[in-house]
Amino acid sequence: MLDLAQYLPGALLTQWLVQLGARVIMVERPQRRHFLDLPPDHPYYAALRRGKRSIVLNLKQPADRAVAYDLVQWADVLVEGFRPGVMERLGLGPDEARGRNPRLVYVRVSGFGQTGPDRERPGHDHTYTALAGLLAPFGETPTLPPVQIADVGGGTLPGLVALLAALWRRERTGRGACVDIALLDGALAWTYFLLPMHRQTPADRRWLDVFLGRVPAYGLYETQDRRWIALAALEPHFWDAFCRAVARPQWSERAFDPALVPEVAALFRSRPLAHWLGPDGRGGVLDPRRMSVAAVRTLDEALSDAHLHARAMFATDEHGYTHPRLPMRFDGQRPPAPRHAPQPDEDAPRIRAWLRGALSEDALFQEPAP
């Protein structure tokens, strides 16, 4: 697989595929720098580069473009993250690449897609979530999420699904495909509940009150010590368990009554978090085993969670940075997490030797010893 993704959406896509067993070669630009001028051992790079091989090629130079053509003939998949038209100008557009390798699955990840009047617009994650109506769907004060919804949820994950579907089709037909992934399209797909209810009929508003945390049974509540609790007691038996635990039987029929929210909020503010959920978050007045309730954690607290460790969800790279592992298991085992993140062009001598036939593919992709 060839990775010309540049940015998070496509680079994380190929990083996930590395962990699923793919062999990935990054074709990188000369003297590329991150916009924040991050050092080469920064976790941003490790998160996206682990387990890949790197070669720097100037695709404007015929000799380097010839190397890229050799790599295209080897690859099953090419993932690129340039604006529309750039790969064509570099001589590696889908027609050129698939002309050399008809079985190639060519994945294009861009902000606005390959067609449409905005196709050449630049953007970043909250550009797309803003345009898709995700940051303020009903005109409220917008909130900037701490994770990249459009990049990952609208780019990486749809790209991965489409890529695997294209590979499956190729195994049946022998033909590759050109996949067009737009981050704006992917961000809009997150409105799967919001968009159908944008008219806000009475029935819509009832559901939206739940979905947006405006009812007592489903919301975030501050505690006396300025921590927060997530309560999601939507089902009657969960809400009943909550009412019994806090000695408020009179609330049993008011789970979806917005007028009750201030009373529930006042109750939670009357005691610290440990009172409600215990010192370890696993049970105080409220028992997480009997109702849907949890502490709003920091990342440090999530890192110490016994359940996540039992599920083997954390991996450490060669620099000591912690990364989440793939959220899936196969026959009870989680795919191994690579530790080494190459520097740009680190693998160029071995890649060139392999293309000459002087090194085996297995040797090229052998994981470096720790």
- As a whole number of angstroms, the distance between CA 309 and CA 370 comes to 22
Determine which one of 3, 125, 151, 317 is catalytic. 151
Is 151 one of the catalytic residues?
yes
Q: Higher-confidence residue: 280 or 115?
A: 115
β-bridge partners, 324: 314
Answer whether residue 319 is part of any domain: no
Q: Are 109 and 155 in contact (CB under 8 A)?
A: yes
Count of the separate structural domains present in the chain? 2
Q: In what order do the strands lie in the sheet with 228-232?
A: 218-222, 228-232, 293-295
Specify the 3-state DSSP secondary structure of 185: helix
In the chain, what percentage of residues exceed pLDDT 70? 98
How crowded is the C-beta side of 338, counted as CA atoms within 13 Å?
26
Are 132 and 248 contained in the same domain? no
What's this model's pTM, rounded to 2 decimal places? 0.93
Give me the DSSP letters along 56-121.
E--TTSHHHHHHHHHHHHH-SEEEE-SPTTHHHHTT-SHHHHHHH-TT-EEEEEESS-SSSTTTT-
Domain boundary among 238, 265, 296: 296
In a domain, 301, yes or no: no
Name the residue range of residue 260's domain: 203-296
Asked whether residue 23 falls in the same domain as residue 117, the answer is yes
CA distance 293 to 151: 29
Residue 331 lies in a domain: no
- What is the helix (H) or strand (E) element at residue 4, kind and residue range? strand 2-4
Asked if 205 contacts 138 with a C-beta cutoff of 8 angstroms, the reply is: no
Does residue 153 sit in the same domain as residue 235?
A: no
For residues 27-56, average pLDDT: 84
Please identify, among 243, 278, 296, the residue that sits at the C-terminal boundary of a domain: 296
Q: Are 239 and 233 in contact (CB under 8 A)?
A: yes
pLDDT over 80 at 114, yes or no: yes
The region, left, alpha or beta by phi > 0 then psi within -120 to 50, assigned to residue 27 is beta
Q: Which amino acid is at 319?
A: H
Q: What letter does residue 165 receive in the DSSP assignment?
A: H
Q: Is 308 domain-assigned?
A: no
pLDDT in tens, 211-227: 888 999 999 999 999 99
196 occurs within a structural domain: no
Residue 302 domain flag: no
Does residue 332 lie within any of the structural domains?
no
Q: Is residue 30 part of a domain?
A: yes
In the three-class reduction of DSSP (H, G, I as helix; E, B as strand; rest coil), residue 24 is classed as coil
pLDDT at position 34 over 70: no
Q: What is the pLDDT of residue 8?
A: 94
What span, in angstroms and rounded, lies between the C-alpha atoms of 332 and 353?
38
Average pLDDT over residues 202-214: 86
Same domain flag for 171 and 257 = no
On whether both 82 and 216 belong to a single domain, the answer is: no
Co-location of 83 and 156 in the same domain:
yes
Residues 211 and 187 in one domain: no
Structure tokens at 187: 């961000």
Residue 135, amino acid:
L
Q: Are residues 153 and 275 in the same domain?
A: no
Q: Span 48-67, mean pLDDT?
A: 96
Q: How many CB atoms lie within 10 A of CB 287?
A: 15
Pair (78, 152) in one structural domain: yes
Are both 146 and 278 inside the same structural domain?
no
Q: Give the domain-ending residue among 236, 271, 296.
A: 296
Instruction: Please report, for the domain that includes residue 15, its CATH number.
Output: 3.40.50.10540
In terms of domains, do 37 and 181 share one?
yes
Together in a domain, 171 and 284: no
Per-residue model confidence as pLDDT tens digits over 63-84: 999 999 999 999 999 999 999 9
Q: What is the average per-residue pLDDT within 308-329?
A: 95
115 close to 109: Cβ distance less than 8 angstroms: no
